[in-house]
Structure 1
Amino acid sequence: MLVKFNSSTSGQMMMFAPAARQLLEILHKDCTARGVITTEQLPEAIERLRTAVVGGRRSVPEALPTPSTAPENNKGSDGDHPEDGPPIGLAQRAFPLIELLEWTQKEDGFILWEAAKDF
């Protein structure tokens, strides 16, 4: 399921529900079908995401496979398709949303999110 984040001033972005859930939980928001990050909440939301990204960077080297634990044949879990590389980290998921929040904050806007159902 996709979650759309719409800025009142700066456009929109979409992401899959698990990634959106992770980011919204950092912001202490309920993962409902519709929600809002108000103008007043934007500074705190930006700070929370930045703090989480910094904390996530410290743990990234431990999350990456080492040569002794990496699969020898580089096949995916189904054995047919090779994996694309290391998993996508929190920073890669959060930066687009942080940018959208910052652009929206500059123009005193707000962010609405929308999904097909609660996630």
Structure 2
Amino acid sequence: MLYKFKSRSTADLIMLEPTARQILQIIGKDPDGQHGIVTVAQIPGAIAALEAAVDAAENLGRADKDKAPDYASTNEDDQQVNEGEVIELRQRAVPFIDMLRRSAAENNDVIW
């Protein structure tokens, strides 16, 4: 299932269900509802919640890297990891945060 977020301030933002559900849960909205709204009054809180979640995810990632052994693997399979395939929460949340900021600046709600 796809989620389509709309605002009069921006182009539509389309997300796959797992990403949209995660973002909606972070901002305190019901991801099970087919339709919803982030009002202009709710936007600052939603942005703050998303930024806090992104920071927490990045700090968790740094802690995991600090625990990793400092030797290089000689196993060829270990060296074949494609780090570019991992998409972090920041990359998924930034377009939505941008939509929220633009909408707040023009006093428009965001709906889905």
- Tell me which interval the TM-score lies in, with the shorter structure as reference length: 0.7 to 0.9
Alignment partner of 1:74 out of 73, 77, 80: 80
Counterpart secondary structure, 1:95: helix
Q: Distance in 1 between matches of 2:27 and 2:77?
A: 35
- Give 1:2 deviation, angstroms: 1.2
Mapped to 1, the partners of 2:9 and 2:100 lie a distance apart of 10
Alignment correspondent of 2:102: 103
CA separation in 1, counterparts of 2:23 and 2:45? 13
- Shifted more, 99-108 versus 53-62: the winner is 53-62
Structure 1 segments unaligned to the other structure (5+ residues): 76-82, 114-119
Does structure 2 conserve the Cα–Cα contact (< 8 Å) formed by 1:60 and 1:89?
no
Question: Structure 2-normalised TM-score?
Answer: 0.80
Q: Which has the higher contact order (CA 8 A, sep 6+)?
A: 1
Give the structure with the higher percent helix: 2
Contact 1:3 1:16 (C-alpha < 8 Å) held by counterparts: yes
**Structure 2, unaligned runs of 5 or more:** none
- Give the distance between the partners of 1:34 and 1:51, measured in 2 at CA: 25
3-state SS of the aligned residue for 1:40? Answer: coil
Q: What amino acid maps onto 1:34 in structure 2?
A: H
The Cα offsets for residues 6-41 of structure 1, whole Å up to 9 and x where unpaired, read as 012222111110001110000110011111101110
- Provide the aligned length of Structure 1 versus Structure 2: 105
Distance 1:14 1:60 in 2: 27
Within 5 Å, give how 1:7-86 maps onto structure 2.
7-31=7-31, 32-61=33-62, 62=64, 68=73, 71-72=77-78, 74=80, 85-86=84-85
Secondary structure of the residue aligned to 1:39 is coil
Q: Give me the TM-score of the superposition, normalised by structure 1.
A: 0.76
What CA RMSD, in Å, does the superposition of the two structures yield over aligned residues?
2.5
Percent of paired sites with the same residue: 33
Check the 8 A contact 1:24/1:30 in 2, yes or no: yes
